[in-house]
Amino acid sequence: MNPKIKVLVVGRHPEIMQTVLNLINKTEDWVAEGALSDETAIELYHQRRFDVVLIGGGVEEESEAKLRAIFTFQNPLIRIIQHYGGGSGLLFAEIKSALLKQAEGKNTLQD
């Protein structure tokens, strides 16, 4: 049995966050946790080993830059993707693409 892919979802809208978490957690091989603040995201990231970070709409550019810097300092190969909506098909495709790039050993800054 393979371990589940762990996704950290960072966003600012509780209702959207819950929808995204529900979609990801319904996928058999994935598990997601959410953070509505930078502080919570950083705390979760330091406590657990995530495979992918998904940054949602509403996260300010300054916050996104700070989070990217912290996360990539801890793990230079972490996959960080932006998700602004578009339905579950797009969400799953974005995560699968990020995992594929990670498996290929590509750095997050070389997309």
pLDDT-derived band at 111 (thresholds 50, 70, 90) equals very low
Residues 16-61: tens digit of each pLDDT:
999 999 999 999 999 999 999 999 999 999 999 999 999 988 899 9
pLDDT of residue 99: 74
Q: Which token pair is 35? A: 């953070």
Residues 57-67: tens digit of each pLDDT:
889 999 999 99
Residues 6+ apart with CB under 8 A from 43: 35
* pLDDT > 90? residue 14: yes
Which of 69, 66, 64 lies closest to 81 in space, CA to CA? Answer: 64
pLDDT of residue 13: 93
- Taking the complete model, does pTM exceed 0.85, yes or no? no
pLDDT of residue 110: 38
Alpha-carbon span 17 to 56, nearest angstrom: 8
Residues 65-102: tens digit of each pLDDT:
999 999 999 999 899 998 766 666 677 777 877 777 76
Q: Give the dihedral of Cα atoms 87, 91, 97, 98; nearest 10 deg.
A: 150
Alpha-carbon span 11 to 89, nearest angstrom: 19
Task: Report all structural domains of the chain as residue ranges with CATH numbers, in order of start.
Answer: 5-110 (3.40.50.2300)
